[in-house]
Chain A
Amino acid sequence: MTGAASMLRLSARLVARDWRAGELRVLVAALVIAIAAVTSVGFFSDRVRLALVEQANALLGADLIVVSDRPIEPAIRQEAERLGLAQTTVLRFPSMVVIGERAQLSEVRAVGEGYPVKGEIALSPRHLEPPVATRSVPARGTVWVDTRMVALLGVDAGQSIELGDRSFTIAGVFERDAEASVGFLSMSPRILVNALDLPDTGLVQPASRISHRLMLSGTPSDVARFRNFVAPRLGAGQRTEDVREARPELRSAIERAERFLGLAALVSVILAGVAVALAARRFLQRHLDACAMMRCLGAPQRQMVGLYLGQFLLLGGVASAIGVAIGAAGQQVLVQVLGSLVSASLPPPTLAPAFKGLVTGVVLLLGFGLPPLVALASVPTLRVLRRDLGAPGRGSLLSWLAAGTAIASLVLWEAADLKLGLAMLGGTLAMVLVCAGCAWLAMRAAGRLAGGGRGRGAFTWRYGIANLNRRALGSIVQMTALGLGLMALLLLTLVRGELLDNWRRSLPADTPNQFLVNIQPDQVERVRAFHVQAGLAAPQVQPMVRGRLVSLNGRPVQPSDYGDERTRRLVDREFNLSFMADLPTDNRILAGRWWTPADRGAALVSFEQGIAERIGVRVGDTVVYDVAGTRREFIVASLRRVDWDSFRTNFFVVAAPGALDGLPVSYVTAFRLPEGREGFTHALIREFPNLLVIDVASILSRVQQMIDQVSKAVEFLFLFTLAAGLVVLYAAIASTRDERIHEGAIIRTLGGSRRQLQVVHLAEFTAIGALAGGVAAFGASALAWALGRFVLGVPFTFDPWVWVAGLLGGAVLVGAAGWVGTLDTTRAPPLATLRRL
């Protein structure tokens, strides 16, 4: 123990000396950046997670909820009553509300006696007045609206709003009701209405999308008994929710976002690892002689390893503390940028992310730093006589293995999923290799242009550029590290805006911006006429029948048959089926055949290719749909490709004309509302209160805003990446310092001026920066092309600014940093330098 303590003391003294000598700053800077990047994301996601758990606990509004897309069977309600559970049923559905001149899509909750069974509602009599906790429901003829509705429509208590066929008075404003929906993407404002008023609104129609929620509360044992009773009786479209199961789709969305940000932060960690490796290598070079001498004086190898390991761990501790502090500040930036996506206020974070940062730092330090230390401890003692012994090689198998293991374990840990982790590792490796390859090619080309230091033009510039090839490995490492950082930033700043603009421009001018849903059969002609009266083209309406897929080729279809979560949800909910005679222009048959007039009334359907693949449907298969209790069997006649970007109404599953006759049907349409005609929607809702208007333009702008927010957050994280790239640059400069000083002394002895030497360095680093910027611009353009080609379907346009920004930005940034970083190597008198060598 005392041995270890004294070794630690000695390590501390050595750290202090090496710090004074400036040996360790690169190491600490690299660790600080890596830890700050990881903990920024860690603290932020920790806070979001805590907010979710807290709200789920406090505000589920029940101990258990049975959710169903049809009225809940009486047997289930009776069992709850028998067990003495408090219960109430809430109907939830989307609808338009009209206030004065404006219409707004909202989430309506019709609540009755006994609501809420658990928790309470904080209700203000007017907006901004202090709320009072209540366990009642709105009186008949009145509604309560949430603060978002107030913000969107500028309404307040006392005003009148229209919901369906009825007019209501606003009697209160709440921030959160008992049933919270937390989180990303919950866009619609909420309105609470008394269930007894619901029939008067005329909003409940056969084909309406209504969620029935039986909310239950009781002792844990009774609730458990009820759960056991209900579990085997749940059909398709029915499920239970409790605190643990609340909002599974939201949780997985947030988990994905966390992983994405976490992996983005890992890019900085990997670059920081490179800097640590470079710094550790230089540390090794500088300490070889001292180490050989200590070994010569009788220090055992174990002691040497202990001594240097102690030094590194002390450093790691200090760097971690600084990194965690910066991370804690960094997460505030993320909250500022992303906070509005999370509707709830965020609780303070726990210490767990700090621990994660710490582990990251240690893994980085040991993975990248330990192998050189081991090499240091095993330096041959004979080096005291022969200085060429024990010089570090290009990196042993051990050091590559250790670094690889460190990165792999960090990535897999962050991804929390083997497949995703391996994909990330493979992707990173491929990206690094491609970047390194480009850097190598660019460097060779530059070297050829500079003629290996010969040829025409200013000697110093040619000599500096030729230096790139002379230090080939180091140059490639620097260009790759800086190139990756710059590429990420270019992609997020210039390329993203350009791509989205292109995509928006690629939409035809008559692209529909409004969808009308829930048109009843008797309203179709009136709705069309209403358009014509208003001077708009009569829209093409399409029939829609809601049905659940219950069997495929004779086998029942269950969500649990599918591993993929999205497929499960697709199978669990009702499909929108339509029928039509002609293939829409934005559809293309991939397999099978489209029907002819002779097929009228035949039980044929056509599947969209993507969903067919998900569910495993092929041409010729038999599928059974359950539509409001009626089962119909169909044969899959064809698979189609659909151009979703057209923004026209399209359906996953389409039937032949006549195939759906006799089933409850409603109609949908999409149309383009010219700017300045917003009043039309309002008039439409007045006339047809049951219609839902989905304003695609506002959804698009909301999505755009979200993309902006998320990419700002990622941009922020990539600032760490760029910083890590600069530390790699600095580490590389430091690792070639002795060589540069030597070179400088010789050149000055031979009559070269200090200025000539500085120009050599300036040329070298400007070239590194410009080439890294070129690699970054190339990478960003290639990714933009791939995104445009395969994801957005827009043609690639060459954006010269990406190249200007990449080349110029890289050249100026790196040229300046490198020039400043090597200034002092040109200062010492040449004799002093030459004598030291």
Chain B
Amino acid sequence: MKAVDLTKRVTTGESSLLILSRVSFEIEAGASVAVLGASGSGKTTLLGLLAGLDVPTEGRVEVHGEDIFRLDEDGRAALRQRLVGFVFQSFQLLPALTALENVMLPLELAGRSDAREQALPLLERVGLAARVGHYPRQLSGGEQQRVALARAFVTRPRLLMADEPTGNLDAATGSGVIELMFELNREQGTTLVLVTHDEQLARRCGRRLRIAAGELVADESDLRPAAAGTPVAEPTSAPAVHAA
């Protein structure tokens, strides 16, 4: 996956706000990348653009060499269906569906007839075999996030996008969820893009992209770490550093 000159500007009335400014990088298959930054730095916007949930003002995102913004919204949805799994800070389960139905949903949207057969073992894998018929409101925050994990992995995505997955959980529950996420990630060999402001969590990823005020300010890799906090003067040249 490759981001080239990603820029997002929001215009409200007279004023224009630059949320993301010419961000470029490349992520190799199977890598785990943390996007770090303070609140409002633009990291969630970046994640949304990478997943094609929003459209950039300028720039492009390439997946397997193809610019996803050449596709229309439904085309990008189909791409997500094939390749991407999501985990959100606020879980984003459908309240009217049971745990099992939530996990089955992505497969059913893809027209798969084996949704149930695929979803049940995964719910078992995340430790919720006894709660498949429960609705989200009957589950604790940690359990809801584990349902969300099962939903994210049920399609065997090539890419997992996680937005502050522990943001709404206490430390102990959060670390349990994170363990599970990294385990599943390893088992399925998924590429991980994790948005967080938690340094410790970020250290578990092989690579860290730091965003500040909408700009990519650092790209650190455990194999060839860039100097922490070193500003990248020309973000366009950022892909010079690659994860293994």
A751 pairs with B80, CB closer than 8 A: yes
Q: Is B153 located at the chain interface by the 8 A CB criterion?
A: no
* Inter-chain contacts of B81 with A (CB < 8 A): 750-752
A-B complex: 9 closest residue pairs judged by Cβ atoms: A751-B81, A470-B96, A831-B48, A831-B53, A831-B54, A753-B74, A752-B109, A750-B106, A751-B80
Distance (Å) between the CB of A686 and the closest chain B CB? 82
Instruction: Indicate if the CB atoms of A454 and B73 lie closer than 8 Å.
Output: no
Cross-chain contact of B82 among A739, A743, A751, A832 (Cβ < 8 A): A751
- Expressed in whole angstroms, the minimum distance between the Cβ of A752 and any Cβ of chain B is 4
Cβ contact within 8 Å between B111 and A459: yes
Chain B 89-132 residues near chain A, CB threshold 8 A: 90, 92-97, 101, 104-106, 108-111, 115-116
If A829-B53, A829-B54 touch, does A750 touch B109 (CB 8 Å cutoff)? Answer: yes
Bound Cα distance A750, B102 (Å): 11
Name B110's closest neighbour in chain A (CB-CB).
A751
Set of chain A residues within 8 Å of B155, measured between Cβ atoms: 751
Within 8 Å by CB of A749, from B78, B80, B90, lies B80
Q: Does B80 contact A750, Cβ atoms closer than 8 Å?
A: yes
| Residue B201 CB within 8 A of the other chain | no
Provide the residues of chain B in CB contact with A739, threshold 8 Å: 95-96
Residues of A within 8 A of B110 (CB): 751
Q: How far is the CA of A470 from the CA of B116 in the complex (A)?
A: 19
Q: When chains A and B are docked, how far (Å) is the Cα of A637 from the Cα of B69?
A: 97
Most B CB within 10 A of own CB, among A742, A756, A835: A835
14 new A-B contacts, CB < 8 A, other than A459-B108, A742-B92, A750-B109, are A739-B95, A743-B94, A743-B96, A746-B93, A747-B94, A749-B92, A750-B151, A751-B78, A751-B81, A751-B106, A751-B109, A756-B109, A829-B73, A835-B44
- B interface with A by C-beta (< 8 Å): 44-45, 48, 51, 53-55, 73-74, 77-82, 84, 86, 88, 90, 92-97, 101, 104-106, 108-111, 115-116, 151, 155
Q: Which residues of B contact A453 (CB under 8 A)?
A: 97, 101, 108
A575 to B116, CA, bound (A): 80
Q: B116: which A residues are within 8 A, CB to CB?
A: 454
Q: Pull 7 A–B residue pairs with CB atoms less than 8 Å apart, ordered by A.
A: A746-B92, A749-B53, A749-B86, A751-B77, A751-B81, A753-B77, A831-B45
Chain B residues with CB under 8 Å of A297's CB are: none
> Is A837 an interface position by the 8 A CB rule?
yes
| B92 adjacent to A834 (CB under 8 Å) | yes
- Bound together, the chains give a CA A463 to CA B94 distance in angstroms of 12
- State the CA gap A459–B107 with chains docked (Å): 10
Q: Give residues of chain A (595-650) contacting chain B, Cβ–Cβ below 8 Å.
A: none
Find chain A residues with CB under 8 A from B96 CB.
Answer: 467, 470-471, 739, 743
CA distance A454 to B119 in the complex (A): 13
Query: Least Cβ distance of A271 to chain B in Å?
Result: 26
The answer for the CA separation of A742 and B91 in the assembled complex, in Å, is 12
Centre residue among A463, A750, A753, A835 by max chain B CB count within 10 A: A750
Across the interface, which residues of A come within 8 angstroms of B51, CB to CB? 749, 831
Expressed in whole angstroms, the minimum distance between the Cβ of A465 and any Cβ of chain B is 13
Contact (A750, B105) CB under 8 Å given A743-B94, A834-B53: yes
**C-alpha spacing A165/B22, complex, angstroms:** 113
Instruction: State the Cβ distance, B40 to closest chain A Cβ, in Å.
Output: 12
- CB of A326 to closest CB in B, whole Å: 38
Q: Is A755 an interface residue (CB 8 A)?
A: yes
B153 CB to closest chain A CB (Å) equals: 12
- Interface mask (A740-775 → B, CB under 8 Å = 1, otherwise 0): 001101111111111110000000000000000000
- Give Cα A109–Cα B167 distance, bound, in whole angstroms: 96
Please state if B86 and A837 are interface contacts (CB–CB under 8 Å): no
Please report the C-alpha to C-alpha distance between residue A614 and residue B37 in the assembled complex, in whole angstroms: 90
Residue of B nearest to A752 (CB): B109
> Which residues on the B side are within 8 Å of A754 (C-beta)?
73-74, 77
Number of A-B contacts (CB under 8 A): 83
Q: Which A-chain residue is minimally distant from B157 (CB atoms)?
A: A751
Identify the closest chain A residue to B163 (Cβ): A834
C-alpha gap A649/B151 in the complex (Å):
81
| Binding site secondary structure of chain B | helix
Residue A830 CB within 8 A of the other chain: yes
**Are A748's CB and B77's CB within 8 A?**
yes
Pick from A459, A467, A829, A835: contact of B109, CB under 8 Å: A459
Question: Chain A nearest CB: distance from B84 CB in Å?
Answer: 8
Q: How many residues of A are in contact with the other chain, CB < 8 A?
A: 30
Are A746 and B94 in touch, CB under 8 angstroms?
A: yes
Cα-based distance from A743 to B115 in the complex (angstroms): 19
Q: A779: shortest Cβ distance to chain B, in Å?
A: 29
Q: How far does the Cβ of A96 sit from chain B's closest Cβ, in whole Å?
A: 74
B90 in complex: contacting residue of A463, A750, A832, A837, CB < 8 Å:
A837
**B92/A755 in contact, CB under 8 A:** no
Chain A residues near B93 (CB-CB < 8 A) = 746
| Alpha-carbon separation in the docked complex, A422 to B155 (Å) | 60
Q: Binary interface profile of A, 216-260, with partner B (CB < 8 Å = 1, else 0)?
A: 000000000000000000000000000000000000000000000
Chain B minimum-CB-distance residue to A453: B101
Per the bound structure, the CA–CA distance linking A202 and B218 in Å amounts to: 122
Contacts of A463 in B (CB 8 A): 108
Docked complex Cα distance between A747 and B79 (Å): 13
Enumerate A810-837 residues with CB–CB distance to B below 8 Å. 829-832, 834-835, 837
| A452 to B132 Cα, complex, angstroms | 14
A803 CB, min distance to chain B CBs, angstroms:
31
CB distance from A837 to the nearest CB of B (A): 7
When chains A and B are docked, how far (Å) is the Cα of A756 from the Cα of B93? Answer: 18
Residue picked from A470, A471, A746, most chain B C-beta under 10 Å: A746
What chain B residues lie within 8 Å of A837 (beta carbons)? 90, 92
A463 to B110, CA, bound (A): 13
- Say how far A765's CB is from chain B's closest CB, in angstroms: 16
Bound Cα distance from A629 to B9, whole angstroms: 106
Question: Is A750 a contact of B48 with CB atoms below 8 Å?
Answer: no
* A residues in contact with B108, CB < 8 Å: 453, 459, 463
Residues of A within 8 A of B77 (CB): 748, 751-754
The reply to whether A830 and B53 form a contact with Cβ atoms under 8 Å apart is yes
Whether the pair A753, B78 counts as a contact (CB closer than 8 A) is: yes
A residues less than 8 Å from B88 (CB atoms): 834
Bound Cα distance from A748 to B94, whole angstroms: 12
Chain A residue at minimum C-beta to C-beta distance from B54 = A831
Residues of A within 8 A of B101 (CB): 452-454
B203 → A minimal CB distance (Å): 27
* Other-chain contact of B105, A470, A747, A834 (Cβ < 8 Å): A747
The residues of A that contact B54 with a CB separation of less than 8 Å are 829-832
In Å, the complex CA distance between A831 and B54 comes to 6
> Which chain B residues lie closer than 8 Å to A749 at the CB level?
51, 53, 80, 86, 92
CB within 8 Å of B: which A175-195 residues: none
Q: Which residue on B lies nearest to A470, using beta carbons? A: B96
Min CB–CB distance A476 → chain B (angstroms):
15
A834 to chain B, nearest CB (A): 6
Minimum CB–CB distance for B122 against chain A, Å: 15
Within 8 A of B (CB), among A340-365: none
**Docked complex Cα distance between A471 and B94 (Å):** 13
State the CA gap A754–B109 with chains docked (Å): 11
Q: Hey, which chain A residues are within 8 Å of B80, CB to CB?
A: 749-751
- Nearest-CB distance from B177 to chain A (Å)? 19
Report the separation of the CA atoms of residues A752 and B106 in the bound assembly, to the nearest whole angstrom: 8
A28 and B18 alpha carbons, distance in the complex (Å): 41
Contacts of B92 in A (CB 8 A): 742, 745-746, 749, 834, 837
Cβ contacts under 8 Å, A471 to chain B: 96
| Complex interface: chain A residues within 8 A of B48 (CB) | 831, 835
The residue on A at minimum CB distance from B151 is A750
Within the assembled complex, what's the spacing in Å between the Cα atoms of A829 and B10? 14
B106 cross-chain contacts in A, Cβ below 8 A: 750-751
Min CB–CB distance B50 → chain A (angstroms): 11
Distance in Å: Cβ of A479 to nearest Cβ of chain B? 18
Query: What distance in Å separates the Cβ of A443 from its nearest Cβ neighbour in chain B?
Result: 14
Which B residue sits closest to A827, measured CB to CB? B73
**In the complex, what distance in Å separates the CA atom of A715 from the CA atom of B109?**
44
Inside 8 A of A756's CB, which chain B residues have their CB? Answer: 109
Contact partners of B151 in chain A: CB under 8 A: 750
